[in-house]
Amino acid sequence: MSTNWAPLIAGQAGVVPLSLGIPGVAKTAFFEALSQSTQRRFIPYMLDQSLPEDLKGYPLVQEIEANGHTIRAMVHVLEEARLRAELEPSVVLLDELTCAGHSIQAAALQWVNNPSPNCWMFAAANPPDKAAAGVDLTPPMVNRLCVIPWETPVEAIRQGWRNGLEFPAPEIPLVPSNWRDHLPKWGLLVDDFIQRFPDRMEAYPTDPAKASEPYPTPRSWTNVVKVLAAAESVSANKSVRRLLVHGCVGDGAGAEFMTFLDTQALPDPEDILSDPQALVLPRRGDLAVAIVRSVLARVESDNSIPRWERCCDVFETTYQQNKEVAMAGYGKLWKLKPELHQPAQRNGAFAEMDRLRG
């Protein structure tokens, strides 16, 4: 099961997902349950009932030091919930986003663009035509988000009904701390795609009716790199990755990019670890390096003696095809060796790598 994995992954990667679904399908309850199961403070913002100051801070005149002088200036003081979201592990939910006027959306832009590392930020809304006093998202807002159709957790709801309204905690793909190790691979692939299709770098909607839907820009492609790196770190399936890509750059550019990925035939790190001898590196050195790095990152996030030994097998296969690529990651391989493990001596390619490493 991978119900609503896409928004959960995006929120942990610092890209705010907007879960878009009809009223009454457990969006708010889902994110509150997420906070409880991860022991994070739940901080909901009902944006249709908020003021811009609730997000940006309330103006206050204070004395500040500037260039050796004390001067009076207007500063913005954050209210308690907003401050706790900055300082404490939390789940922030920007709820009813399509009921928020454009002034509220404008006040939220900077926070949405740069969530605190301590908080997982999510947004939820009904489609504007199904929301109370629905408002279209502004282009600057939607371009910062990853817009994902909501998947109603039907089985969890039915289980809760059968269990006296005690609903199970959501299944959470916890993104490991080393997920950024996958960023170079996906940055490389996005760059290759844009080099081949430069008109997809940015495409502001020409149809005003489409201006509130995701569209490609350098910012939204950067978000694609982030969410795909995080998705790989938890072995998310292709369906989840597709939702993430389409949610950032829209259906047109998203479909083209997913087709482009299919032509690259990049192996999954787990497939490589299950059969290291079957690895065939691409001729391009940068892609080969990206593949080896992805294997190392996957082992780092889920390490054991058998997995580390299979990673050693991967390096033997890699060395036989591209010595430079193998040596580029050989030091990291040994840093990942499980503590107290005494590996048996290997000959052949491994002996050569040991000699070159000195």
Decide: 216 and 142 in contact? Cβ < 8 Å. Answer: no
Residue 64's CATH number: 3.40.50.300
Residue 48 shares a structural domain with residue 151: yes
Number of H helices, E strands in the chain: 16, 7
User: Same domain for 18 and 137?
Assistant: yes
Q: Are residues 20 and 123 in the same domain?
A: yes
Amino acid letter, residue 293: R
Whether residues 127 and 235 share a domain: the answer is: yes
Show which of 213, 229, 261 is a domain's final residue.
261
| C-alpha to C-alpha distance for 242 and 160, rounded to whole angstroms | 30
| H or E element in which residue 17 lies | strand 17-20
Q: Whole-model pTM?
A: 0.85
Q: What is the pLDDT along the chain (358 residues), one digit of tens a residue?
A: 578 999 999 999 999 999 999 999 999 999 999 999 999 999 998 877 777 777 777 777 787 888 888 888 877 667 788 888 888 999 999 988 888 888 888 888 888 888 888 899 999 998 888 777 778 888 999 999 999 999 999 999 999 999 999 999 888 999 999 999 999 999 999 999 999 999 999 998 888 777 789 999 999 999 999 999 999 999 999 999 999 999 999 999 999 999 999 887 678 899 999 999 999 998 888 888 888 988 999 999 899 999 999 999 999 999 999 999 999 999 999 999 999 899 888 888 888 888 887 6
SS3 168: coil
- pLDDT at 62 (0 to 100): 80
The pLDDT tens digits of the residues spanning 189-235 come to 999 999 999 999 999 888 877 778 999 999 999 999 999 999 999 99
Q: Do 208 and 232 reside in the same domain of the chain?
A: yes
The whole-number pLDDT of residue 1 equals 59
- Is residue 334 domain-shared with residue 256, that is, in the same domain? no
Exposed (0-12), middle (13-18) or buried (19+): which is 69, by Cβ within 10 Å? Answer: exposed
Choosing from 231, 246, 261, the residue where a domain stops is 261
What is the pLDDT at residue 98?
86
Same-domain check for residues 228 and 273 = no
Domain count of the fold of the chain: 2
Same domain, 315 and 283: yes
Same domain, 217 and 274: no
Residue 1, amino acid: M
Q: 70 and 54 in one domain?
A: yes
- Of the candidates 37, 38, 31, 8, which has an alpha carbon nearest to the alpha carbon of residue 230? 8
pLDDT attached to residue 317: 94
Q: What is the DSSP letter of 206?
A: S
Answer yes or no: do 143 and 21 share one domain. yes
Final residue belonging to a domain, choices 238, 261, 284: 261
Are β-strands 69-77 and 58-66 bridged in parallel, bridged antiparallel, or unpaired? antiparallel
The tokens describing 57, both together, are 């801070």
Residues 175 and 220 in one domain: yes
- Where in the sequence is the domain holding 324, given as residue range(s)? 265-357
Select from 144, 122, 125 the least CA-distant residue to 135.
125
